[in-house]
Every structure is written in structure tokens, then in C-alpha cells.
Structure 1
Amino acid sequence: MGSLWDAILKNLTPALGSFFIIDLIAATTNAFNGALLARRPTHYRHYTRVGIVILAIFGGIGGGVMRDILLNTVPDPLQSPYYVVFATLAAVLALYLNYHTGQKVREGMFRFMAAFSLPWFAALGAYKSLEAGLPPIVALAVGVTGATTGRFLIDITSGMTPKHFLRGEWFVGTALLTSAVYLPLWYAGLSIWPATLIAVAVGFTFRILALHYKWEEPEPWEPPEAAHATAPAGRSSHALDDAAGTARAHPTADPPDPQLRKP
């Protein structure tokens, strides 16, 4: 009994190092954003409350798990129960706020969290890759992969084309920028906290501006004769895909807001 209790305490009381705390922030914010995403008309598939919490956990720890798999280490979210606990709490809070707030507040909250949650795993992926002695190009790749895996899992589960591949407000570009900003800070000798906060601030600012001003990644050039078949001006292919997702989720002329039903 004593050895079992010692093992439980060891798992529940990790050394609260800087990386662990930042990684937990990344998992929690991404889980919160994942729950909000699962309730949006484009992704909502009449999920149960437990289903949304599971999706949020996928979104929260998916980036850290994929990062550590690429680095050939046991994933940190599998070594401490804090990740799942905090991701679950974040999902429950997101569901509560999503139901008890108005449409404008929900939309603003989602846009803020979509920008705020993205850069954390990008910075941590770059940090952990550099600490492992890997070259900068690998650090960029791991940073981008870690930052975008959670969204990929939720998109695939919801039957949507992953956001990585659609025209939008620089989703992958923000992750790449954050990782790229982290590299010179690490080589300059900054410790993990200031380097991460600077990189996250740059990525967050860029993402907020991209969302506000509708900065979007370019699509391939179309030959002149195919110009009439492209998306209408002012609407990206991602916006068209969102509209199609809404129609699939709610096959009516005027898709109902899922907030009308209790989560």
C-alpha cells in the first residue's frame, strides 16, 4: 500500500519546472479552444457533452503528444494526469460560457482563443527540438506540427477538410512564424520563459491582425479561362467550405444556431 501511495503522489506532484507549466498552459488553452470549435455550426455534429470534452482533450494534448512522438520521447501528456485534468476543466468552462453568453461574445471569445492558443505549442516544439540538438529546420517542422495537430484531429472527426489545407487567415503561417521567432531567441541565450513569451506575443499579434484584416494565404494561380469557376470575390474557399459544413450540419435554408439547444 505504501509503494502504491508513493507512486500516486509521484504522478500527482510533478516537478513544476518551467517547461511543464508552459506546456500545461498550451494544453489548457488549446482544449478550451477545441471545445468552442466543436460547438461551432461548421463542426457541430450533435455531439454529446462527453463527446465535446473528448474532442477538447484531443485538441489540448494532441499537439504535445505528436511533438514528443516526433522527438522519440514518451509524450509528456501521458506522464502526468494534470494535462487531462486541466484540459477537461477547460472544456467544461468553455461549454458553460458558450451556453450562457450571447452570439457576439461567443464569436469574440472564439476568435481570441483561436489566436491565443495557437502559438504556445509552436514555441515549445521549437524549444524542445533545439534542446535535443536537432537542426533549426527540424525545430520549425516540429513547432508547426505540434501547434496544428489538435485542430487537425477535431477537423477530421467533424468531417471537415483540415484547416491546414484551406485558404484562411494564416493558420499554419502563424505557427511557422512563432517557431521562427523562437530560434534566434534560443540561440541568443534567452531562457525558456522570456523566449516563449516573446515568440507567443509575436504569433498572437500576427494571428489577431490576420483575423481582423482578413489576411489570407494565396491560392494557386488559375488560368484565365478558369477564372469564372473560382470562389466569389471577398469569400475565401475556407469561407465557402464553412458554409458547406453548416449546410451539412443543419440542412435548412437558415441554419439554426446550436446554442438554441442545451449542450
Structure 2
Amino acid sequence: MVQLADESVNWFGDWSLSGSFTTIDLIAAATGALNGALLARRPSHYRNYTIVGVLLMAVLGGISGSVTRDLLVNEVPAALMNPAYIVFSLVAGIVGYLIAFKPGQLFREGLFELVTSASLAWFAIVGAQKGIRVGLPMIGVLLLAVVASTAGRYLIDLTSGVPPKLFVRGEWYVGTALLAAVVWVICDAAGLNVWVCAGIAFVVAYTTRVVAMYRGWEEPLPKEPPGVHQRDDGRPRLGPKLKGKSEQELRALGLLPEEHPDTDEGKPRNDRNDRR
């Protein structure tokens, strides 16, 4: 016979903002949710999402990493026990919804990329921290960190019908998560304070990815057969994105003026011939 628990409903959950792991995890959730809201408004991912849809994308970006991480180590997800995770995600989602576009309806691509870099690093740090806490071997710690940092983006990409970011060419997306995890593990093994470990790992990983975006360093593609040339997608570097001069972004938004308006095959019309 199945016995039902006598526990009453816990209406407000176990609110907690303190504790090194919880605080860092909430920072990761907030940056992930902000990233999710911005991503839902990005021209490459926008699919006529409603305001509720954007906020749900923010929640996906905010808690998917921590939920997946905790389930993999056979724990009740902290994001479901502590209401602060969802509240922080919703607040960050509202912020992302409000600031996604600059005046003139230009998407804040530079801000989005910077928030993505921050989210990757924070989720990788708490993933590595959780792996060490439960006694995983090094390879398990690194895998947990990568899964935690990419789960939210993976779900949002699939929902939007876009190839998941971690599988396609980019500025060391998975590499950033791995780097943050490795640096955190090394600092932790050296006996440094938790916040010192997190700070060093974040700065190293975040700086590396931002520099990679400025310099155009990308993960290598497979070697092509003779005579086959890989297509250059023309992705602009971070510098033009921050300055709001990304031609690709303007074209995607329909804001790029026609190159030859009122012309015939690219040549100006001859008014004198028209009058004849």
C-alpha cells in the first residue's frame, strides 16, 4: 500500500540568498535568465514570442543549468526548492525584455554577447563546485560544468528552431566553460577561498572569451575534402557589435538601406532619356 506523506504544503519554499554556493548559483541564474530573455528577442531566435514567452525563455535560461546539474548528481534541484531562483530569473527576464533594443530598434548584440560570456563562466563554476562536492572524478567534474553552462542555451536554441550553439562554429563557447571549470578546480585544490576561486575562474574565462570575440578566434571546423571550401558566415566581431555597426545585424532587422535605390541594374537613371 502506498502511504501518503503527512507533510503540509510548503507555500513559500526554503528562501535562501546566503552561502557561497547558493549566492554564486543565484548569480549564474540571474545572468542566464538575462541572457535567455535577450536571446528570445534576438532576430535570429525571435519567433513571435509573447511577453510571457520571453519570460519563460528567461526562466529556461536561468534554471535549466542548475536543474540539469542537480538531477545528474541525483539531488532535488535547488531551483525548485528555493523560490529565489525563479524570482531572480523572472526579474532578470523583465530587465532583458526592456533593454533588448537600442533607440532605433537596433538589437543590443554587444550586450548580449557579454552577458553570454558571463553566464557561461558562472554556470561552469557552480557546476565544477557541485562536482567536487559530490566526489566526481575530474572528467565528471568538467562534464558537469559544461552541461550546466550550456543546458539553458541548448533548450532555447531547440525551441527557436536554431542549431544549438555548443555544436556550431563560435568563439570558444564550450571552451570557455571548460576553462572556467579547470581554473576553479586548480584554485580550489590550492586551498584558496571559495570566492577567490570563483573570482579568478570568472575573470580568466570571461576575459578569454571577450578577447576571442574581439579577435575573431573561433573553434576549428573539420578539415574539408580537396576542392571543398567552407562557407564564411560573415559573423561580425565584438567591436562592431558594441559600436552598433554590425551590417549583418542591420540586414537581419531590415534596417539596412537599399544599395541602389531608384536605379536600373545598379546604374542611375538618365532623366533626359526619360523625357524623350
Counterpart amino acid of residue 98 in structure 2? Y
Q: Secondary structure at the match of 2:224?
A: coil
* Residue number in structure 1 paired with 2:172: 170
2: CA distance between counterparts of 1:182 and 1:101?
Answer: 39
8 Å contact from structure 1 (residues 130, 139) kept in 2: yes
Counterpart amino acid of residue 67 in structure 2? V
29, 32, 47: which one aligns with 1:27: 29
* Residue number in structure 2 paired with 1:147: 149
8 Å contact from structure 2 (residues 172, 212) kept in 1: yes
Please list the CA deviations of residues 166-188 of structure 1 after superposition, one character each: whole Å capped at 9, or x if unmatched. 01101001001111111111111
1: CA distance between counterparts of 2:107 and 2:158?
Answer: 27
8 Å contact from structure 1 (residues 33, 114) kept in 2: yes
* Residue number in structure 2 paired with 1:246: none
Please list the CA deviations of residues 125-151 of structure 1 after superposition, one character each: whole Å capped at 9, or x if unmatched. 111111111111110000011001110
Q: Which has the larger radius of gyration?
A: 2
Q: Secondary structure at the match of 1:225?
A: coil
* Residue number in structure 2 paired with 1:231: 231
Structure 2: where are the runs of 5+ without partners?
1-6, 236-250, 256-276
Q: Secondary structure at the match of 1:224?
A: coil
Show structure 1 runs of 4+ deviating over 3 A: 99-105, 254-258
Counterpart amino acid of residue 179 in structure 1? A
Which aligned pairs between 1:161-200 and structure 2 lie closer than 5 A? 161-200=163-202
Identify the structure with the greater helix proportion: 1
2: CA distance between counterparts of 1:191 and 1:8?
Answer: 35
1: CA distance between counterparts of 2:111 and 2:104?
Answer: 11
* Residue number in structure 1 paired with 2:244: none
Cα drift, residue 114 of structure 1: 1.5
Q: Cα 1:129–1:57, aligned 2, differ >3 Å: closer, same or farther?
A: same
Cα drift, residue 162 of structure 1: 0.2
User: What percentage of residue pairs aligned between the two structures are identical?
Assistant: 45
Q: Does 1 or 2 have the higher relative contact order (CA < 8 Å, sep 6+)?
A: 1
2: CA distance between counterparts of 1:45 and 1:15?
Answer: 34
Q: Cα 1:76–1:257, aligned 2, differ >3 Å: closer, same or farther?
A: farther
Q: Normalized against structure 1, the TM-score is what?
A: 0.83
Cα drift, residue 22 of structure 1: 0.7
Please list the CA deviations of residues 23-42 of structure 1 after superposition, one character each: whole Å capped at 9, or x if unmatched. 00000011001100111110
Counterpart amino acid of residue 90 in structure 2? T
8 Å contact from structure 1 (residues 64, 146) kept in 2: yes
Cα drift, residue 255 of structure 1: 4.1
Q: Cα 1:123–1:226, aligned 2, differ >3 Å: closer, same or farther?
A: same
Q: Cα 1:225–1:58, aligned 2, differ >3 Å: closer, same or farther?
A: same
Does 2:253 correspond to 1:256? yes
2: CA distance between counterparts of 1:4 and 1:99?
Answer: 45
* Residue number in structure 1 paired with 2:45: 43
8 Å contact from structure 2 (residues 42, 107) kept in 1: no
Count of aligned pairs between the two proteins: 235
8 Å contact from structure 1 (residues 152, 163) kept in 2: yes
Counterpart amino acid of residue 58 in structure 2? A
Q: Secondary structure at the match of 1:72?
A: coil
Cα drift, residue 90 of structure 1: 0.4
2: CA distance between counterparts of 1:30 and 1:15?
Answer: 17
2: CA distance between counterparts of 1:257 and 1:16?
Answer: 46
Structure 1: where are the runs of 5+ without partners?
237-253, 259-263
2: CA distance between counterparts of 1:225 and 1:113?
Answer: 39
2: CA distance between counterparts of 1:169 and 1:15?
Answer: 33
8 Å contact from structure 1 (residues 41, 257) kept in 2: no
Cα drift, residue 214 of structure 1: 1.1
Does 2:124 correspond to 1:114? no
